[in-house]
Amino acid sequence: MSTYSLAIHGGAGTITRASITSEKEKAYSDALMLALETGEKILKSKGTAMDAVTATILVLEDCPLFNAGKGSVFTSDGTHEMDASLMRGENLEAGAVAGVQLIKNPILLAREVLENSEHVMLSGKGAEAFAKERGVAFETEEYFFDEYRFQQLREAIHEGKIILDHTSSENKKFGTVGAVARDVHGNLAAGTSTGGMTNKKFNRIGDSPIIGSGTYANNNTCAISCTGHGEYFIRAVVAYDISCLMEYKGLSLEKACEIVVMEKLVKIGGEGGLIAVDHQGNICLPFNSEGMYRGWVENGSKREIGIYRL
């Protein structure tokens, strides 16, 4: 079956029409569309799911609107600690990095770990040393500085809170970016990248770089990338749980996602969502929050962008 599918996300949370200006809504929609077009171009030309996922996430990492790469939020000491992961569905190869600083595109470093190391996850200074060995690009602190993100940090410090991208009574957004794809060769891939939590301490790591929690891909079942309150997604092993429900109980992608996102996560207090594609190319984009920045396209059909709950 020579069809392709691609889905992307840029975060979930309390995202309502009342909380976003029309200008901001257009900026998000344009950025999501550019990422979607970039990935689809690769899939259309019979490129791999891994290449499409990587290229798509690169676009989102380079956009300051999203909490990943250039737009990463500040830690408690005013730095940026970023996490990312990739997984290949045909052989379960995976690469991840956690708590890295000044890496321009953490998703590229995750791919280097996948393809050019015997490990799955590297962290902190060790991951940065590996990045230098592999020629992965670094940037200056000024590159990552964003006034809006800095004000988030000041607010969080003032309130004595650790917040997910931005939290207030009006707007709560869980900032992570991700992509999942099925290529025309029948292979799946998934990737996720994030700057984590504003004002985070103690080198906190969420679900994004954890294979099976924030990212998972298996050609026999599905590819998943999550966005939400990472601690809950880790505890629920969300991405792998959906794959397991498909593999061992024979559930459809849609049913498995419904059980995990709308029932199991909700039961333990977890908020957020995910993007998923199964081995046949079916796409599912469930979320239990009020909104999720998302986009999807299937085999040349019209590209779709969504922000709010339908």
In terms of Cβ atoms closer than 10 Å to its own Cβ (0-12, 13-18, 19+), residue 32 is buried
pLDDT of residue 172: 52
Q: How far is CA 292 from the centre of its chain?
A: 12
Range of the domain at 208: 5-308
pLDDT higher than threshold 80 for residue 252: yes
The pLDDT assigned to 167 comes to 41
pLDDT digit string, tens, across residues 7-28: 999 999 878 888 788 999 999 9
Mean pLDDT calculated for residue range 136-163: 79
Q: How far is CA 252 from the centre of its chain?
A: 22
Please give the positions annotated as active site: 176
158 pLDDT higher than 80: no
- Region 39-59: mean pLDDT is 98
Do 165 and 27 touch, CB atoms closer than 8 A? Answer: no
The pLDDT tens digits for 186-221 are 999 999 999 998 888 899 999 999 999 999 999 999
Residue 11, pLDDT score: 93
Sheet holding 222-228, edge to edge: 215-217, 222-228, 272-278, 283-284
H-run or E-run covering 188? strand 188-194
pLDDT-derived band at 56 (thresholds 50, 70, 90) equals very high
Give me the CATH number covering residue 101. 3.60.20.30
**Largest pairwise CA distance in the chain:** 55
Residue 168 confidence (pLDDT) above 50:
no
Q: Give me the number of domains the chain comprises.
A: 1
pLDDT at 177: 98
3 state SS of 113: helix
**Statement: residue 277 has pLDDT above 60:** yes
**CA dist 211 → 30, 50, 114 (Å):** 30, 15, 12
pLDDT in tens, 72-117: 999 988 999 999 999 999 999 999 999 999 999 999 999 999 999 9
Look at residue 169 in the predicted model and tell me its pLDDT: 40
Give the confidence band of 249 by pLDDT, cuts at 50, 70, 90: very high
At residue 162, does pLDDT exceed 90? Answer: no
Q: Which residue has the higher pLDDT, 283 or 148?
A: 283
Question: What mean pLDDT comes out for the span 230-248?
Answer: 98
pLDDT at residue 180 tops 60: yes
**pLDDT at res. 170:** 43
Distance CA 161, CA 107 (A): 28
Weakest mean pLDDT among 1-10, 29-38, 99-108, 112-121: 1-10
pLDDT tops 50 at residue 171:
no
